[in-house]
Structure 1
């Protein structure tokens, strides 16, 4: 029996659109900060037949949908194929049972799939370790087969997704001790989104703005890396916000249009912009595929950002720091 744990990440340069939907090879590079909470624990073990059980934070069992079960089973099949190409055909048992214990509250705007599939990749690598050690790069590639964003949660601190021809994997830019940033998460709505990220990725190419986005990613990616390595918050703020708004412009001009942000999102953005100007605070905003606003700030700015978030009527608030990525437990 192998047990692994992982957490979500928040992208600073967003992943949107694929070269290959089946293998989740992204259309462009991306970059994220791994969070230190909430976590997902995954246990895998030999079994007579494939099965998956999922449990919520209070240990009540959640019935997975047919689509969710299929996605996990497909990920296992792709993982076995990955090991076969490494001449490790027997690294994974013919059948396994999977148990998932999630501490991620439902619909809070954190990508639980990134935590689940990075933890699964870590566990599968643990099973295969008797054959030969599996590298972090290889674990990130296994994670990507289940969720593109999961590839980056394999690493602590700050990680970049690197796309080279038909290969895609994550690399660590800086570890979790490099820069103590915080993510104050404001959730205006916990209504499940009508179109999930997997379906949304497939629509990215229908936007007339998508190619322009792809052309801009290499510059943004390098600017983001430079900002992190030099701890230049102003530079990080400028490029992260530029990229987030650009991704949502692509979403909104896709066919059909995807509108993930709502009036509350825009209100929060305007107020944060005013707050940081008045108070000279180092805080940036970013949004994934949903109305949730992530306010990433420095230690010095945290008390005022935390106080602002607490005043948001009707919104749920969650807080995380920089985490250390997936690992065995």
Structure 2
């Protein structure tokens, strides 16, 4: 399948107005994608857990307009009009117009809300762009009633990727692969796919407690961060490392090897931050409390034999991952030892989810 597969030939139906609402979760990458080529193509494959509670709900209302010379839309976050969101949406519309040729035919009202702080290291762009892509696909399905469920899902992921790379991993769950990897059948650079192989019951209902170390806006945007990989002295080795880590993770997921899982996941998190610290310009995205939490997790694991571990996105917040069987013990540890390092003591309890839902 290539990009041309998602260009519609013609629409046999018409619709004047209506609305759709989708909720789409964020995700947390286990093997990180960092660095991209033209058109949001990843430099390396990645795999993520789809979350459940950390999600974006987007209502897309549309009405036919007479003048179709340009895009026409407004964006609202939590009921407040957000003019500063419009440039990103307009860029997205320009990227996907060839695949959704009806975009200039309608005025769109985009109403969105998150269950988690915006721009704080939880992937709000990913959940937001995937929810919007799903709403647009629902409109396209009205115009072309022959769209299959499989095509709907693939194209939604494809479109979401053009808004925010990791958004393509939000459509389904609980594990999603994005990027071509010769050991994973069906993997490709254009859209995310559900992880196709056996997953041990150790990973059922895996827990993710997100410690909000810093709820402010991220120091550097993901787009800027990805671009720093161009010409990075360690970039090519990093891309190879990610591919090898994903291959190794296949065995850990199949065999329920939690120690192997922990080794890969924590290494990936620290490598992501190492790449940022060794770029030009360079950035330190972790805060002192991030490092304190990591050291506390290592101490707790060494003392108790727990299978708790951490991962990080491109920010200061810490995702604490652990098996469901350890939920009571780890939450007690978090409340006793880690909550003091969170901004205002705030954290979010989440669990691995199954993807987006239409409301």
**TM-score, normalized by length of structure 2?**
0.82
Would you say 1:276 and 2:301 are equivalent positions?
yes
Query: Which structure 1 segments of 5+ residues have no match?
Result: 84-88
Following TM superposition, by how much is the alpha carbon of 1:108 offset from its aligned partner in structure 2, in angstroms? 4.4
Q: Name the CA distance, whole Å, in 1 between partners of 2:32 and 2:259.
A: 18
8 Å contact from structure 1 (residues 29, 160) kept in 2: yes
CA contact (8 A) 2:93 2:103 kept: no
**Aligned-pair CA distance for 1:62:** 5.4
Counterparts of 2:122 and 2:290, CA distance in 1: 15
Deviation at 1:303, TM superposition (A): 1.8
- What value does the CA root-mean-square deviation take over the aligned residues? 2.3
* Distance in 2 between residues matched to 1:90 and 1:36, nearest whole Å: 32
For 1:307 and 1:62, locate their aligned partners in 2 and report how far apart those are by CA, in whole Å.
Answer: 40
Which residue is equivalent to 2:110?
Answer: 98
User: Are residue 69 (structure 1) and residue 99 (structure 2) matched?
Assistant: no
Aligned residue in 2 for 1:86: none
Residue in structure 2 matched with residue 153 of structure 1 by the alignment: 170
Counting only pairs closer than 5 Å after superposition, residues 217-236 of structure 1 correspond to structure 2 as 217-236=242-261
Q: Pick closer, same or farther for the CA change 1:128–1:229 going to 2, 3 Å.
A: farther
Query: Matched residue of 1:6: which SS?
Result: strand
For residue 300 of structure 1, report the CA deviation from its aligned partner.
Answer: 2.1
Length-normalised TM-score, structure 1: 0.89
C-alpha contact (below 8 Å) 1:180/1:321 kept by paired residues: yes
Contact 2:22 2:58 in 1 (8 A): yes
Identify which range, 68-77 or 6-15, moves more after superposition.
Answer: 68-77
Relative distance call for 1:314 and 1:162 in structure 2 (3 A) is: closer
- Gap runs ≥5 in structure 2: 1-18, 66-70, 182-186
Contact map agreement 1:310 1:317 (CA 8 A) in 2: no
- Distance (whole Å) between structure 2 residues aligned to residue 129 and residue 92 of structure 1: 17
Aligned 8 A contact 1:209 1:249 in 2: no
Alignment of 1:165-314 (within 5 A): 167-173=189-195, 179-311=204-336, 312-314=339-341
Distance 2:255 2:81 in 1: 44
SS at match of 2:281: coil
Question: Based on CA coordinates, which of the two structures has the bigger radius of gyration?
Answer: 2
- Whole-Å separation in 1 of the counterparts to 2:119 and 2:330: 22
How much has 1:107 moved relative to structure 2?
A: 4.8
| Runs of 4+ that moved beyond 3 A | 89-95, 163-167, 174-178
CA deviations on 1:255-282 (whole Å, 9 max, x unpaired) are 1002101221111111101101111111
Q: Which residue of 1 aligns with 2:13?
A: none
Distance 2:309 2:132 in 1: 31
Instruction: Measure how far apart 1:284 and its partner are.
Output: 1.5
Matched, 1:52 2:64: no
User: Which one is further off, 102-111 or 292-301?
Assistant: 102-111
- For these two proteins, the number of residue pairs brought into alignment is 317
SS in 1 for 2:192: strand
Contact 1:91 1:128 in 2 (8 A): no
Deviation at residue 128 of structure 1 after TM alignment: 0.8
